[in-house]
Structure 1
Amino acid sequence: MAPRNRFRTAIATAVAVTVTSAGAGTVWALDRYVIPHVEVADVAQYEAQNSAVVSSSDGGATDAVVTGDSYTDGDTSITISTVTTGTGSDTLTYYVAEVTLADATGLRSAFAHNQFGANIIEKTSEIAADHDAVLAINGDYYGFRDTGIVIRNGVVYRDEPARTGLAFYLDGSVRIYDETTTSAQELLDAGVWNTLSFGPALVEDGQAVAGIDQVEVDTNVGNHSIQGEQPRTAVGVIDANHLVFVVVDGRDDGYSRGATLPELAQIMLGLGATTAYNLDGGGSSTLYFDGAVVNQPSNGGERGTSDILYVAG
């Protein structure tokens, strides 16, 4: 949940001022956090060549019905709602997308600029528009780190186990798992369609996970604590192919203060989630529906991110 754009801007500005005398540390920071490193130049082609699963969601549906806060297309449905609690400085505003999929492959992932690698970013709404998404949320910002298991749309992109992950299976189930006890290939063989690597897990077996008010994720240079009242993005599963996405706005007294992780877990439980997982938040937290950003990102506008989860329209 780091202020990554501000971090990158600060580094780039410092280098511009001291370009003739840049030290090794500055050069390292630019390379690590700013300069794009493309590993897969054409993700669409890569997935077409490597995925053994054919998605049932091809977009371009002719019988879809969209209203201001709902979408239906056969057995796929989406309902958007806004929840506000509290008053004054205690006001909390969050957005809920309840999603029922006709098939698990209807939930897809997409990368910024159709490329996989470090420091490749694009706004959630732009990635969504490029893929004809009717609904999208920001993902796990995989491009800010070089660890984690990354399987997207049935294709392995990275196999560097490091933390607690989330796996979406082809049977419509969603499970929390320990990356360090398995491999990307084993997950793929078991029917995993997508993975996310951020965290922490919020809800398991219908119970809030203990100790999440102490967990930190990626506390390296350029990042800050995920604790406290923050803008948030979370995904949960109610039942097979029945998902719920939550985006919490924050850092705006009187409109929305942001949520703590324990509060987020309770929100997910209240929505019926039996499993729930925290994604990248802060300025990244974005909910997109029917061509527009629904929430109010805390940066005063969208922040670039490396990936999204989406449902094609």
Structure 2
Amino acid sequence: MKKLFQALGWVFLFIITALGVTFVTLWLLMYMFCNGPSESAKKTFVATMLETGGMKFVVSWYMTDDEVMAIMNEGIASAAPVSEKSADTDASLVNMNENGSVSGNSGDGMVDSSIPEALRDAYAQDTDGDGLILVPVTSHTFSGGLLVIKDPSRISLSSSYPWSDETRNKDGLTVGEHCEQSSAVAGINAGEYVTSGTNWGGMPVGVVVENGEILYNGPSYGDVMVGFNSDHVLILTDVGGMSASTFESYVKENNITDAASFKDVAGGNINHFTKLIVNGEAVELGGKGVGANPRTALGQCADGTVLFLCTDGRGTGGHLGATGQDLINIMLQYGAVNAANLDGGSSSSLYYEGEYAITSTHMRYADTSRKVPTAFVVK
């Protein structure tokens, strides 16, 4: 019996020592990021942490509030003027066929030279003719999938409405469950929601519109609506300064059918961005989006084609994640004239044909996603 207790003691000591070494190593590694010679590494680390839902506090272990603000303000000062970033979406830049879909050619068998080469190559992979093409995207810091959807009329928003109350009496749905309830073949997570530290996802933040009906109307500072109108054109609109009644009027006047929202604001312990490309012009993100994280983005090309983009990160496959500029580069490569960053991090998931092409970093070994209140789906 004495030998058994001695053995257990050695095992316990080994476990405690291993945990201690791991903690010290991680602490020193993060200290080097914040206080080492590389200013670029410091900015990336700070931005990455501030984009998370539950790890913002880590930065305060190594840096004062003034130091964090100095880094963020430096980026904000270099960003594009607010007036430029807030430009309304020009719906006339999207021109579809009469049936609301795209073909990828000029109508006489000739390739349309106005369509970017990357998008033409994707069209060529549509061998089964279903109008959906999943294209792998890779980089040294992330991997992911770009779902090309030729017919924008197939896009809609799925929600877990009626929402949970503050007692969390109702969970959100996984992206796969959103697809199942909508009889959809593909989907990505959509708007922001109340985080709780648990896999709940039952209450949205900002605004939600489904099938023309406003299901959540609480715009607040920094909110950007990302959605589609009745002509199936992607619309990006700043709604943070709107009252509930103003937003209701906006939805009605602009025939918004399906939409969610995400924050576009940086300052203090917040570093979020939404607009990537507006009216064919890339947005200058400045200090926003320089962190590397899992991402979800939505874009639309001039011919109406919709792009669902989802990338991994936070250690999955050895990857840190994608930056905002990475998303912009991919969207531009495929010809997006408007594009937006959606809720990312552990929420980022892409579901396609009955399985997850990209799963949540919290569920990386399971074929599922986090529970979320909204998802953009393809029927």
Q: Could you tell me which residue of structure 1 aligns to residue 212 of structure 2?
A: 154
CA distance in 2, matches of 1:70, 1:166: 31
**What amino acid does structure 2 have at the position aligned with 1:190?**
N
Helix, strand or coil at the partner of 2:335: coil
Judge conservation of contact 1:201–1:278 (CA < 8 Å) in 2.
Answer: yes
Q: Shift in Å at residue 80 of structure 1?
A: 0.5
Judge conservation of contact 1:205–1:275 (CA < 8 Å) in 2.
Answer: yes
Q: Highest CA radius of gyration, 1 or 2?
A: 2
Distance change in 2, residues 1:121/1:70 (3 Å):
farther
Judge conservation of contact 1:70–1:79 (CA < 8 Å) in 2.
Answer: no
Normalising by structure 2, what TM-score? 0.55
Q: How many pairs align?
A: 231
Helix, strand or coil at the partner of 2:180: helix
Q: Could you tell me which residue of structure 1 aligns to residue 103 of structure 2?
A: none
Aligned pair partner of 2:163 in 108, 116, 122: 116
Aligned pair partner of 1:164 in 198, 207, 224: 224
**What amino acid does structure 2 have at the position aligned with 1:132?**
S
Q: Could you tell me which residue of structure 2 aligns to residue 97 of structure 1?
A: 147
The one-character-per-residue Cα deviations of 1:37-58 (angstroms, maximum 9, x if unpaired) are: xxxxxxxxxxxxxxxxxxx9xx
> For residues 49-68 of structure 1, what are the structure 2 equivalents within 5 Å?
none
CA distance in 1, matches of 2:332, 2:194: 30
Distance change in 2, residues 1:70/1:282 (3 Å):
farther
Aligned pair partner of 1:250 in 307, 313, 320: 313
**What amino acid does structure 2 have at the position aligned with 1:185?**
S
Helix, strand or coil at the partner of 1:97: strand
CA distance in 2, matches of 1:284, 1:263: 18
The one-character-per-residue Cα deviations of 1:117-161 (angstroms, maximum 9, x if unpaired) are: 455322111222232210111111345576523212211122333
Q: Does 1:306 align with 2:306?
A: no
Q: Could you tell me which residue of structure 2 aligns to residue 285 of structure 1?
A: 348
CA distance in 1, matches of 2:310, 2:275: 16
Distance change in 2, residues 1:129/1:213 (3 Å):
farther
Q: Does 1:263 align with 2:263?
A: no
Q: Could you tell me which residue of structure 2 aligns to residue 23 of structure 1?
A: none
The answer to which structure has the higher strand fraction is 1
Distance change in 2, residues 1:260/1:70 (3 Å):
farther
Q: Shift in Å at residue 192 of structure 1?
A: 0.9
CA distance in 1, matches of 2:210, 2:127: 26
**What amino acid does structure 1 have at the position aligned with 2:207?**
I
Aligned pair partner of 1:272 in 289, 312, 335: 335
The one-character-per-residue Cα deviations of 1:221-245 (angstroms, maximum 9, x if unpaired) are: xxxxx75100000000103541101
Q: Shift in Å at residue 293 of structure 1?
A: 0.5
Helix, strand or coil at the partner of 1:121: coil
Judge conservation of contact 1:69–1:81 (CA < 8 Å) in 2.
Answer: no
CA distance in 2, matches of 1:133, 1:278: 22
Judge conservation of contact 2:189–2:348 (CA < 8 Å) in 1.
Answer: yes
The one-character-per-residue Cα deviations of 1:282-305 (angstroms, maximum 9, x if unpaired) are: 111111011000124311242221
CA distance in 2, matches of 1:149, 1:170: 18
CA distance in 2, matches of 1:178, 1:79: 31
**What amino acid does structure 2 have at the position aligned with 1:197?**
S
Identity %: 26
Judge conservation of contact 1:173–1:239 (CA < 8 Å) in 2.
Answer: no
CA distance in 1, matches of 2:190, 2:325: 20
CA distance in 2, matches of 1:133, 1:237: 19
Aligned pair partner of 2:177 in 123, 126, 150: 126
Helix, strand or coil at the partner of 1:108: strand
Q: Shift in Å at residue 168 of structure 1?
A: 0.9
Aligned pair partner of 1:79 in 119, 133, 136: 133
Helix, strand or coil at the partner of 2:215: strand
Q: Could you tell me which residue of structure 2 aligns to residue 20 of structure 1?
A: none
Q: Could you tell me which residue of structure 1 aligns to residue 259 of structure 2?
A: 195
Helix, strand or coil at the partner of 2:216: strand
Judge conservation of contact 1:235–1:246 (CA < 8 Å) in 2.
Answer: yes
Q: Shift in Å at residue 188 of structure 1?
A: 2.4
**What amino acid does structure 2 have at the position aligned with 1:152?**
E
**What amino acid does structure 1 have at the position aligned with 2:179?**
A
The worse-fitting range, judged by mean Cα deviation, of 262-271 and 227-236 is: 262-271
Judge conservation of contact 2:296–2:341 (CA < 8 Å) in 1.
Answer: yes
Judge conservation of contact 1:2–1:282 (CA < 8 Å) in 2.
Answer: yes
The one-character-per-residue Cα deviations of 1:247-303 (angstroms, maximum 9, x if unpaired) are: 011112654321111221122111211111111111111110110001243112422
Normalising by structure 1, what TM-score? 0.65
The answer to which structure has the higher helix fraction is 2
The one-character-per-residue Cα deviations of 1:12-71 (angstroms, maximum 9, x if unpaired) are: xxxxxxxxxxxxxxxxxxxxxxxxxxxxxxxxxxxxxxxxxxxx9xxxxxxxxxxx9876
The 4+ residue runs of structure 1 with deviation greater than 6 A are 68-71
Q: Does 1:107 align with 2:171?
A: no
Distance change in 2, residues 1:71/1:195 (3 Å):
farther
Q: Shift in Å at residue 3 of structure 1?
A: 5.0
